[in-house]
Amino acid sequence: MLPEGWKTKQLFDMALKISDGIHTTPKYSEKSSIYFVNGNNLKNGEIVLRESTKYVDENDSVRHQKELGDRTLLMSINGTIGSLAYYKGETIVLGKSACYINLKNTVDLDFIYYTLSDARTQKFYTSEVTGTTIRNLSLKTIKATKILTPPLSEQKKIAQILSTWDQAITATERLLENSQQRKKGLMQQLLTGRRRLPGFEGEWTKVQLKQIGSCIRGVTYKPSDICSQENSETVRLLRSTNIQNWSINDKDLVIMPNKRVKAAQLLAPGDLAICMANGSKALVGKSAVFRGSKISYTAGSFCAIFRTHNDSDNRFSKILFESSRYRQQISVILAGSSINNLKGSDVESMWFTAPTDPKERSAIADRLSVASVEINLLTGYLTSLKQEKKALMQQLLTGKRRVQVEAA
């Protein structure tokens, strides 16, 4: 049952025109300033222009121009589905993987943007896509999109509230990015000795990871080894997908009998879990600290465990695995391999310049840990903001939660 004063409309009824970009290949020119924009250039309300974005010849662009204006929304309809952007007067030619929606003055532009980006609308688009190799969303489906529509004054108020949340999210994203850049710069200084912490003057030396710890390969298992239920005689097995963003997640964990796992293969607090093989080259070498658990964990065959010889080096080794020097060495190793796979010996042979004084290593770890805490706090706050905005959208865009509209 609709809230009082609300109506169910189709997007077609609220738009002057809904169409897509050109279905031909334009003439390109590096001397032009007119961008060729497709669906993959649309993200989070913005047209994202990259170095790889091509330019359309200025003379050829004239015959490809579409009717875009200040009440136009752009949407990706091919490959990536449902990503949205406002059109803000950019000089562009629109490709066939993007559509444009020119809205009437009788609806609020921002309200329609939030409705189209809402999880329910996106779920509808996902259910309507065609194609197996490349997904496509038809203009017919877009035109038939159902919009729960309150009076215009209420539309504006809802959009204003959600816009405030977006501003908070954007501000937090900037703070997070700045914190990450500060930590990156600090790492480059502290891990090369260009900046020394007060009170330390000792020598630095070339150190291989095998001098700090050892790499223990994960457990090889067969589908028949997997248990359907977890109990006191099972162990959780980490796969490469469980090691992301410097943390361990329990998404789709595999459970197996602990008798199949050697004692040395059980993760201990302070151990690093490492992704050793993955279809994505960018994920190979990603690591995360195991902070301990009442439940036993081990690493799968595409993962490994790095365990330091001394507990005092646990935090310092984590920093080495986060460093640009570590990623550079992985890139060199993978460049000479036909598959995205690291061996334990590859990891142990990596070298770094490090202080010989254990106290200085610990001090560096302390300093960078402070930066990590700030990043973790901002990341958690950002996640909360996004979750709260999502919940608020579900209430406001359905009328379950009504807003107060001032009288004209």
Q: Is residue 83 part of a domain?
A: yes
Q: Is residue 351 part of a domain?
A: yes
Domain shared by 207 and 350, yes or no: yes
- Residues 338-361 have pLDDT tens digits of 778 899 999 999 999 999 898 999
Cα–Cα–Cα angle for 101, 102, 105, nearest 5°?
A: 135
Q: Is residue 184 part of a domain?
A: no
Q: Is residue 182 part of a domain?
A: no
Domain shared by 244 and 365, yes or no: no
- Given this model, what pLDDT does residue 229 score? 87
Q: Is residue 312 part of a domain?
A: yes
Least Cα distance to 124 among 106, 148, 159 occurs for 148
> Which residues are CB-contacts of 100 (< 8 A; sequence separation ≥ 6)?
17, 18, 19, 20, 21, 66, 67, 68, 72, 73, 74, 75, 87, 94
Domain shared by 210 and 340, yes or no: yes
CATH number at residue 215: 3.90.220.20
Least Cα distance to 65 among 39, 35, 88, 44 occurs for 35
Report how many domains make up the chain. 3
> Which residues are CB-contacts of 234 (< 8 A; sequence separation ≥ 6)?
227, 255, 256, 257, 258
Domain shared by 224 and 342, yes or no: yes
- Stretch 356-373: mean pLDDT, rounded? 92
- Residues 55-86 have pLDDT tens digits of 999 999 999 999 999 999 999 999 889 999 99
Domain shared by 379 and 314, yes or no: no
Domain shared by 134 and 162, yes or no: no
Domain shared by 231 and 344, yes or no: yes
Q: Is residue 20 part of a domain?
A: yes
Domain shared by 252 and 210, yes or no: yes
- Residues 301-342 have pLDDT tens digits of 899 999 999 888 889 999 999 999 999 999 999 986 777 889
- Given this model, what pLDDT does residue 407 score? 59
Domain shared by 169 and 227, yes or no: no
Strands 287-289 and 272-275: antiparallel
Domain shared by 95 and 115, yes or no: yes
Q: Is residue 33 part of a domain?
A: yes
Q: Is residue 187 part of a domain?
A: no
Domain shared by 340 and 367, yes or no: no
> Which residues are CB-contacts of 317 (< 8 A; sequence separation ≥ 6)?
209, 212, 213, 272, 306, 308
- Given this model, what pLDDT does residue 81 score? 93
- Stretch 192-201: mean pLDDT, rounded? 90
For the chain, give the percent of residues with pLDDT over 70: 99
- Residues 86-123 have pLDDT tens digits of 999 999 999 999 999 999 999 999 999 999 999 999 99
CB burial string 380-390: b at 16+ within 10 A, e below: eebeebeeebe
Residue 80 dihedral angles phi and psi, to the nearest 5° = -80, 130
Q: Which domain holds residue 196?
A: 151-176+192-200+360-408
Domain shared by 305 and 396, yes or no: no
Q: With 80 as the cut, is the pLDDT of residue 408 above it?
A: no
- Distance (Å, whole) CA 345 – CA 56: 50
- Stretch 39-54: mean pLDDT, rounded? 93
Residue 235 dihedral angles phi and psi, to the nearest 5° = -135, 145
Q: Are 107 and 155 within 8 A, CB to CB? A: yes
